[in-house]
């Protein structure tokens, strides 16, 4: 256990942030699975839009790195183009 008051406060703060970050990351994983199971272009666009928005919000609050968001969006666009070509 921490000895200083500021260290104890840091521990409490970290616990709260960990819980908050875990819920956001879990939601991102759930939305990603929805995109992976999309079979037609319309459902992919709908699921992809929700996923991109959630990733942008997570980046804004510092939970996910911006480069990861760029990579995910790029792969979404590539998958949409592949389905549109069919």
Domain span at 54 = 5-85
Q: Is pLDDT at 27 greater than 90 in this prediction?
A: yes
Question: Which of 68, 67, 60, 63 is CA-nearest to residue 32?
Answer: 68
Q: What are 4-13's contacts with CB under 8 Å, separation 24+?
A: none
pTM of the prediction? 0.85
CATH for 67: 1.20.58.110
Instruction: Please state the rounded mean pLDDT for residues 41-56.
Output: 94
Q: Is pLDDT at 2 greater than 90 in this prediction?
A: no
- Domain count within the chain: 1
For residues 16 and 22, give the distance between their C-alpha atoms in angstroms, rounded to a whole number. Answer: 10
Q: Is pLDDT at 68 greater than 80 in this prediction?
A: yes
Q: Is pLDDT at 1 greater than 80 in this prediction?
A: no
Instruction: Please state the rounded mean pLDDT for residues 1-22.
Output: 93
| Both structure tokens of 39 | 């079979």
- If one compares 86 and 27, the residue with the highest pLDDT of the two is 27
């Amino acid at each position: 256990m921490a000895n200083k008051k500021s260290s104890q406060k840091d521990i409490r703060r970290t616990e709260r942030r960990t819980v908050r970050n875990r819920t956001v990351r879990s939601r991102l994983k759930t939305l990603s699975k929805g995109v992976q199971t999309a079979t037609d272009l319309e459902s992919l666009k709908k699921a992809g839009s929700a996923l991109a928005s959630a990733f942008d919000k997570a980046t804004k609050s510092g939970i996910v790195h911006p480069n990861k968001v760029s990579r995910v969006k790029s792969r979404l666009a590539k998958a949409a183009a592949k389905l549109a070509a069919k």
